[in-house]
């Protein structure tokens, strides 16, 4: 049995978050009643003409600049011709030979922590198609053209990923990027962000590409991973059993966890691309591009390095905290309130807060626990009002009641005891109650120290400041 | 005799309240009804709409309001979408299609006060040079009903020639305004590509289609074009440049104007009597102070082959939307999706449209694209460059509009190539996006001949001025077919 290398390239379709469609004034909002957001242009009525949405262009340029790509000074819209009921004009307006974004790259972090650069061949603007509806219509098929004409940017990678995990890391990175840039809502369930994966295998060490299969329309990170894994295994098994991979389009069936053939290359459409005569070539000058560049936000990679240098975080933590702009902004708002405690803030944001959000299926931006409020808790930890254990209790209360840390501490009387004499009194009472243990300890049984800590904590309902308690207890016990 | 007045005279008479719009509309409607069996110029006659609009125009005029064309009757070629009135494009495919919106040209002319009397017959989807491809039957030439009126704007041309209307809208993709203007002895102008909005003008070949005017004179064409032209944000190919007051510039003298004779247009295939008409017209321009010289466009002979690659390519894609799903003809009892597509399109389109869809599909196909489409685009640029060079030397180019006068119905239907060659002189202006006119310049064997005038981009004013000065010296444009005089 020989060793195989996997070769993966992704084509990601991200719906651009414009309010209106790419070539018409109809709204793009998701979830409206069928065909209520399709105007005559979207319906492909006789005589109508497309007019390019400038905002979609701006968004595509933002993406191009963010991946360090060359922005085409002139790009051309082309017609991709094929018949399908959800494609009203009988052609899709896309970009073919001259896309708006050419040759950029995206860095991903591999499992071993190393960074790999994935080339982006191109990114182009195009319009989405409508949808066919099969449910609740009996033997009929319904057509909903609300999505027809929604702007998309198709991001085509080089075939430079070598495992399903790399593919997922790349897809996640693009997902992070488009949301940072505020050009796509990233909603994968609604289909705002989806991908096609080109997968092939070749003997390790070969410099020839194997025959690839294209897995269409995968709309979750998990499915991308599973679909690719399945496809790689299928291809290897096929080749090793003497078969040949054929170039074809396949669909991933998440219920069965397998890919299935949709159509072979021979059955594929000849799309007869040609420049759309209804649209002039799109011209961008230096000033247009620079104006867009000036409006770019701090990007995830730059933000992560800043978090490392400014807050002393590990590269891993910085990576986690910059995975979304909302998360990074939240973290920075917390740090702003407790500037001396960036690591404590990171731990809480990535730990307890992430856990409850995850449990309740909420986003960081949900507003359930505003950054200032979490910061209020951290202030009380930093000034030793709360021990770590108490802090967790306060946090839970804050989460469920929506109160501030101070209000919870006040109401529950959870304030840590830092008064030396009060702690001493408690220690003395415990010592008095446990003479036998005291004698043993003093006789050299150091392990009993923990017993005394536990007893004092119990007596103070856990409120004794642990550090102070340690010091005082040591002093007292040693007589 | 109302129908012998020009559009500009009618507009003035209406404004002076010497005639009412209702009166005009009734007069023309009667002429239309009477002519319909012989000429078949109209697909739809909108008498009720027209009378209501005329009454409104009369009220506006009485109140001293109204646009420059208030109350003037016109007709639209049946590929300009009109809300509430069916727009057929001369096709079974759109036999019952009622557009939910108005084309920009329709909106603008209505805003100027023009009253639409109906929709004019045309070659199916504007594909044809004889008006014989219409699903609604051929239009006949008012000078001789055994002859074709030309196409594709045959209904518009026949209607104006027979004064069923003072003027009409039309479109020109390869000569569809100029050729029928020549065959019917009237004035037609195809403006610069981008001058008139294509929004709502059902597309044949988007990079060549341009809306324009068929009228009785250059002056009338100027009146109509002024209202139709101008930037439209709904058409990305429309040009954002100010529209001159065309009628105001008509009287400027031609002294010193340099006119180039298109050498290749006189070389081959031109009917000798037709040529004599054109040469006599050129002599008139000389008398008016213009100087003549010969200009050669060596690659102009490529026009027809280039056109018959580019136009079908665009049409094959433009007509893909007629699939029986959302509007237009749908076959009965479709078994499945493929059956729906195949039969709806097979039944809905006529032979010439199918021929061009197939040609266009072929030239765009993998393996043929470079050899046909790309090569044609290169040749197109070459032709444009030759025109540009010519306009570095002359102000206008002139020549015949067609090689012959109108031919008989059925004479060329069996051989598409001879039909296509009829547009040999007109296609160049479309390929280069140039403004071009045809004006009547005499009679060859008793039938009208047309002088073609081509100008540089956005030189409509100059074209109209030259045509108008010529028409002040000649009376070819006021001659009418006996039966409609």
Domain containing residue B169: CATH number: 3.90.1300.10
Residue B131: closest CA among B180, B202, B93, B168: B180
- Whole-model pTM: value is 0.89
Q: Per the structure block, which two tokens stand in for B339? A: 């059956």
Q: In 10 A of CB A267, how many CB atoms? A: 9
Residues 6+ apart with CB under 8 A from B136: B40, B43, B88, B90, B121
Q: Note if B152 is an active site residue.
A: yes
Per-residue pLDDT averaged across A111-125, rounded? 92
| B74 neighbors B172 (Cβ within 8 angstroms) | no
Active-site entry in B20, B129, B130, B176: B176
Residue B7 to residue B322: CA distance in whole angstroms:
37
| A44 neighbors A54 (Cβ within 8 angstroms) | no
pLDDT-derived band at A125, boundaries 50, 70, 90: very high
What residues of chain B, 351 to 370, have a C-beta less than 8 Å from chain A?
A: 361, 364-366, 369
Residue A381: closest CA among A413, A348, A403: A348
Residue among B317, B326, B337 whose CB faces A81 most closely: B317
What does the mean pLDDT of chain A come to?
A: 89
Cβ distance of B206 and A277 shorter than 8 Å: yes
Per-residue pLDDT averaged across A461-471, rounded? 81
Q: Per the structure block, which two tokens stand in for B217? A: 């004179």
Residue A386 to residue A463: CA distance in whole angstroms:
8
B87 to chain A, closest Cα gap in Å: 9
Per-residue pLDDT averaged across A219-224, rounded? 91
Cβ distance of A274 and B364 shorter than 8 Å: yes
Strands B115-120 and B167-172: unpaired
Cβ distance of B321 and A44 shorter than 8 Å: yes
- Which residues in chain B have their CB less than 8 angstroms from residue A48's CB? 199-200
Per residue, the 3-state secondary structure of chain B, as one string, reads: CHHHCCHHHHHHHHHCCCCCHHHHHHHHHHHHHHHHHHHCCEEEECHHHHHHHHHHHHHHHHCCCCCCCCCCEEEEECCECECCEECCCCCHHHCCCECCCCCHHHHHHHHCCCEEEEEECCCHHHCCCCCCCCCCCCCCECCECCECCCCCCHHHHHHHHCCCCCEEEEEECCCCCHHHHHHHCCEEEECCCCCECCCCECCCCCCCCEEEEEECCHHHHHHHHHHHECCCCCCCCCCCCCCCCHHHHCCCCCCCCEEEEEHHHHHCCCCHHHHHHHHHHHHHHHHCCCEEEEECCCCHHHHHHHHHHHHHHHHHHHHHHCCCCCCCCCCCCCCCHHHHHHHHHHHHCCHHHHHHHHHHHHHHCCCCCHHHHHHHHHHHHHHHHHHHHHCCCCCEEEEECCCCCCCECCCCCCCHHHHHHCCCCCHHHHHHCCCEEEEEEEEECCEEEEEEEECCCCCHHHHHHHHHHHHHHCCHHHCCCHHHC
Taken in order A386, A391, A396, A402, the sign of the CA dihedral is positive
pLDDT digits (tens, 9 = 90+) for B314-362: 999 999 999 999 999 999 999 999 999 999 999 999 999 999 999 999 9
Tally the residues of chain B. 485
Cβ distance of A48 and B200 shorter than 8 Å: yes
Per-residue pLDDT averaged across B101-120, rounded? 98
Residue with tokens 């240098």: A309
The domain in which residue B452 lies consists of 2-259+392-484
Strands B115-120 and B73-77: parallel
What ipTM, to 2 d.p.? 0.96
Q: Note if B153 is an active site residue.
A: no
- Which residues in chain B have their CB less than 8 angstroms from residue A43's CB? 326
Cis peptide before A442 (omega within 30 of 0): no
Q: Per the structure block, which two tokens stand in for B65? A: 């309001």
Interface with chain B: mutation pick from A44, A50, A143, A272, highest number of B CBs within 10 Å: A272
- Which residues in chain A have their CB less than 8 angstroms from residue B173's CB? none
pLDDT attached to residue B419? 82
Q: In 10 A of CB B146, how many CB atoms? A: 13
Per-residue pLDDT averaged across A133-151, rounded? 89
Q: What angle do CA A435, A441, A447 make, to 5 degrees?
A: 125
Cβ distance of A48 and B317 shorter than 8 Å: no
Within a domain: residue B165? Answer: yes
Active-site entry in B20, B91, B152, B207: B152
Active-site entry in B8, B35, B77, B153: B77
| A408 neighbors A394 (Cβ within 8 angstroms) | yes
Instruction: Give the rounded distance of the alpha carbon of A128 from its chain centre.
Output: 23
pLDDT digits (tens, 9 = 90+) for A367-420: 788 888 888 888 888 877 777 777 888 888 888 888 887 788 777 777 777 788
- Which residues in chain B have their CB less than 8 angstroms from residue A51's CB? 233-236
Q: Judge whether A49 is closer than 8 Å to chain B, CB to CB.
A: yes
- Which residues in chain B have their CB less than 8 angstroms from residue A277's CB? 205-207, 237, 314
Residue among B99, B207, B233 whose CB faces A46 most closely: B99
- Looking at the 3D structure of chain B, how many domains does it have? 1
Residue A454 to residue A57: CA distance in whole angstroms:
65
Cβ distance of A280 and B369 shorter than 8 Å: no
**Distance of CA A405 to CAs A334, A373, A381, A388, B469, Å?**
14, 7, 10, 13, 91
Q: Judge whether B12 is closer than 8 Å to chain A, CB to CB.
A: no
pLDDT digits (tens, 9 = 90+) for B13-49: 999 999 999 999 999 999 999 999 999 999 999 999 9
Q: In 10 A of CB A298, how many CB atoms? A: 12
A72 to chain B, closest Cα gap in Å: 20
pLDDT attached to residue A399? 83
- Which residues in chain A have their CB less than 8 angstroms from residue B236's CB? 49-52, 278-280
| A73 neighbors A65 (Cβ within 8 angstroms) | no
pLDDT digits (tens, 9 = 90+) for B206-251: 999 999 999 999 999 999 999 999 999 999 999 999 999 999 989 9
In chain A, whose CA is at the least distance from the CA of B102?
A47
Q: Note if B176 is an active site residue.
A: yes
CATH of A420-477, picked from 3.30.70.580, 1.10.10.410, 3.40.50.2300, 3.30.470.10, is: 1.10.10.410
Cβ distance of B364 and A277 shorter than 8 Å: no
pLDDT attached to residue A267? 66
| A285 neighbors A61 (Cβ within 8 angstroms) | no
| Least confident segment among A65-74, A307-316, B427-436 | A307-316
Residue among A46, A273, A278 whose CB faces B202 most closely: A46
Per residue, the 3-state secondary structure of chain A, as one string, reads: CCCEEEEEEEEEEEECCCCECCCCCCECCCCCCCCCCCCCCCCCCCCCCCCCCHHHHHHHHHHHHHCCCEECCEECEEEEECCCCCCCCCEEEEECCCCCEEEEEEEEECCCCCEEEEEEEEEEEEECCCEEECCCCCCCCEEECCCCCCEEEEEEECCCECCHHHHHHHHHHHHHHHHHCCCCCCCCCCCCEEEEEEEEEEECCCCCCCCCEEEEEECCHHHHHHHHHHHHHHHHHHHHCCCCCCCEEEEEECCCCEEEEEEEHHHCCCCCCEECCCCCCEECCHHHHHHHHHCCCCCHHHHHHHHHHHHCCCHHHHHHHCCCHHHHHHHHHHHHHCCCCHHHHHHHHHHHHHHHHHHHCCCHHHCCCCHHHHHHHHHHHHCCCCCHHHHHHHHHHHHHHCCCHHHHHHHHCCCCECCHHHHHHHHHHHHHHCHHHHHHHHCCCCCHHHHHHHHHHHHCCCCECHHHHHHHHHHHHCC
Instruction: Give the rounded distance of the alpha carbon of B335 from its chain centre.
Output: 41
What does the mean pLDDT of chain B come to?
A: 96
Residue among B97, B235, B323 whose CB faces A83 most closely: B323
Residue with tokens 């008095």: A432
| Least confident segment among A287-296, B208-217, B233-242, B419-428 | B419-428
Residue A1 pLDDT exceeds 60: no
pLDDT-derived band at A225, boundaries 50, 70, 90: very high
- Which residues in chain B have their CB less than 8 angstroms from residue A88's CB? 321, 325-326
| Least confident segment among A45-49, A208-212, B185-189, B395-399 | A208-212
Within a domain: residue B365? Answer: no
Residue among A40, A85, A279 whose CB faces B325 most closely: A85
pLDDT attached to residue A360? 82
| Least confident segment among A357-366, B222-231, B282-291, B393-402 | A357-366
Q: Per the structure block, which two tokens stand in for B132? A: 């014989």
Residue with tokens 């021929």: B355
Tally the residues of chain A. 479
Q: What percent of chain B lies above the pLDDT cut of 90?
A: 96
Residue B140 to residue B158: CA distance in whole angstroms:
7
pLDDT top residue among A424 and B379: B379
Taken in order B298, B304, B307, B313, the sign of the CA dihedral is negative
Per-residue pLDDT averaged across B123-133, rounded? 97
pLDDT attached to residue A23? 97
Q: Per the structure block, which two tokens stand in for B441? A: 């310049």
Specify the domain boundaries for CATH 1.10.10.410 within chain A: 420-477
Residue B172 to residue A183: CA distance in whole angstroms:
42
**Burial class of residue B52 in the structure, from the number of CB atoms within 10 Å of its CB (0-12 exposed, 13-18 middle, 19+ buried):** middle
Strands B396-400 and B258-262: parallel
Q: Judge whether A280 is closer than 8 Å to chain B, CB to CB.
A: yes
pLDDT-derived band at A265, boundaries 50, 70, 90: low
pLDDT attached to residue B156? 98
pLDDT digits (tens, 9 = 90+) for A34-88: 999 999 999 999 999 999 999 999 999 999 999 999 999 999 999 999 999 999 9
């Amino acid at each position: 049995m020989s060793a195989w290398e996997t070769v993966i390239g992704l084509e990601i379709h991200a719906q651009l978050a414009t309010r209106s469609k790419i070539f018409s004034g109809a709204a793009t909002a998701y979830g409206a009643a069928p065909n209520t957001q399709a105007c005559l242009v979207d319906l492909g009525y006789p005589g109508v003409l497309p007019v390019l949405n400038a905002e979609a262009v701006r968004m595509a340029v933002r993406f191009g600049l963010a991946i360090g790509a060359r922005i085409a000074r002139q790009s051309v819209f082309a017609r991709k011709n094929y018949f399908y009921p959800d494609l009203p004009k009988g052609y899709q307006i896309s970009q073919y030979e001259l896309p708006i974004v050419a040759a950029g790259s995206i860095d991903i972090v591999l499992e071993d922590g190393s960074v790999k650069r994935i080339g982006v061949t191109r990114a182009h603007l195009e319009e989405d198609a409508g949808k066919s509806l099969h449910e609740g219509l009996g033997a009929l098929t319904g057509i909903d053209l609300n999505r027809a004409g929604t702007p998309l940017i198709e991001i085509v990678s080089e075939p430079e990923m070598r495992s399903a995990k790399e593919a997922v890391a790349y897809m996640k990175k693009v997902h992070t990027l488009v949301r940072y840039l505020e050009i796509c809502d990233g909603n994968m369930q609604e289909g705002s962000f989806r991908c096609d994966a080109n997968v092939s295998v070749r003997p390790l060490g070969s410099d020839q590409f194997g025959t690839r299969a294209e897995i269409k329309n995968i709309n979750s990170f998990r499915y991308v991973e599973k679909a690719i894994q399945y496809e790689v295994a299928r291809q290897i098994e096929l080749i090793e059993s003497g078969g040949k991979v054929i170039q074809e389009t396949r669909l991933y069936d998440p219920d069965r966890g397998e890919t299935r053939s949709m159509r072979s290359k021979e059955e594929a459409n000849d799309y007869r691309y040609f420049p759309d005569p209804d649209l002039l070539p799109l011209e961008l000058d230096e000033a247009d591009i620079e104006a867009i560049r000036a409006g770019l936000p701090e990007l995830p990679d730059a933000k992560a390095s800043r978090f490392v240098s400014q807050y002393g975080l590990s590269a891993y933590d910085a990576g986690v905290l910059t995975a979304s702009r909302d998360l990074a902004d939240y973290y920075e708002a917390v740090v702003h309130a407790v500037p001396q405690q960036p690591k404590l803030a990171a731990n809480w944001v990535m730990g307890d807060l992430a856990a409850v959000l995850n449990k309740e299926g909420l986003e960081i931006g949900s507003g359930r626990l505003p950054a200032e409020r979490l910061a209020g808790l951290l202030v009380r930890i930093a000034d030793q009002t709360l021990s770590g254990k108490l802090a967790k209790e306060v946090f839970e209360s804050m989460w469920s009641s929506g109160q501030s840390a101070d209000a919870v501490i006040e109401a529950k009387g959870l304030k840590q005891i830092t008064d030396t004499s009060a702690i001493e009194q408690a220690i003395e009472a415990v010592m008095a109650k446990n003479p036998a243990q005291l004698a043993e300890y003093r006789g050299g049984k150091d392990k009993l120290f923990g017993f005394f800590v536990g007893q004092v904590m119990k007596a103070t309902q856990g409120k004794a400041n642990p550090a102070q308690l340690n010091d005082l207890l040591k002093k007292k016990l040693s007589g | 005799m109302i129908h012998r007045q020009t559009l500009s005279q009618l507009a003035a008479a209406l404004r002076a309240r010497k005639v009412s719009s209702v009166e005009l509309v009734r007069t023309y409607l009667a002429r239309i009804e009477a002519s319909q069996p012989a000429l078949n110029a109209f697909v739809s006659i909108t008498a009720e709409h027209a009378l209501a609009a005329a009454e409104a125009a009369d009220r506006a005029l009485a109140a001293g309001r109204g646009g420059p064309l208030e109350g003037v009757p016109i007709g639209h070629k049946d590929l300009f979408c009109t809300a509430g009135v069916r727009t057929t494009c001369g096709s079974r495919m759109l036999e019952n299609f009622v557009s939910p919106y108005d084309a920009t040209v329709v909106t603008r002319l209505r805003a100027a006060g023009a009253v639409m009397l109906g929709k004019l017959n045309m070659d199916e989807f504007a594909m044809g040079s004889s008006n014989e491809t219409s699903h609604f039957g051929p239009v006949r030439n008012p000078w001789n009903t055994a002859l074709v009126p030309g196409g594709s704007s045959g209904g518009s041309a026949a209607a104006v020639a027979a004064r069923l209307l003072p003027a009409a809208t039309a479109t020109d993709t390869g000569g569809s305004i100029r050729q029928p203007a020549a065959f019917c002895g009237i004035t037609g102008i195809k403006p610069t590509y981008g001058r008139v909005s294509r929004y709502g003008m059902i597309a044949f070949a988007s990079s060549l289609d341009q809306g324009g005017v068929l009228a009785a004179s250059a002056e009338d064409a100027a009146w109509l074009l002024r209202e139709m032209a101008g930037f439209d944000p709904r058409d990305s190919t429309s040009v954002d440049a100010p529209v001159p007051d065309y009628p105001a510039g008509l009287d400027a003298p031609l002294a010193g104007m340099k006119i180039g004779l298109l050498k290749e247009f006189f070389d081959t295939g031109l009917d000798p009597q037709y040529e004599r008409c054109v040469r006599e017209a050129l002599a008139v321009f000389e008398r008016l102070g213009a100087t003549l010289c010969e200009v050669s466009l060596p690659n102009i002979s490529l026009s027809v082959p280039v056109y018959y690659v580019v136009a079908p390519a665009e049409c094959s894609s433009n007509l893909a939307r007629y699939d029986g799903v959302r509007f237009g003809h749908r076959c009965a009892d479709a078994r499945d999706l493929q059956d729906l597509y195949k039969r709806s399109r097979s039944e809905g389109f006529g032979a010439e449209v199918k021929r061009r869809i197939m040609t266009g599909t072929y030239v765009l196909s993998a393996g043929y694209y470079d050899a046909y489409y790309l090569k044609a685009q290169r040749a197109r640029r070459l032709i444009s460059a030759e025109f540009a060079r010519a306009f570095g030397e002359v102000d206008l180019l002139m020549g015949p509009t067609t090689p012959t006068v109108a031919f008989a119905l059925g004479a060329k239907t069996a051989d598409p190539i001879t039909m296509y060659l009829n547009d040999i002189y007109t296609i160049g202006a479309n390929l280069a996006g140039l403004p071009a006119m045809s004006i009547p310049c005499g009679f060859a064997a008793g039938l009208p001949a047309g002088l073609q005038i081509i100008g540089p981009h956005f030189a409509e004013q100059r074209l109209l001025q030259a045509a108008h000065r010529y028409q002040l010296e000649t009376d070819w444009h006021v001659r009418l077919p006996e039966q409609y005089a």
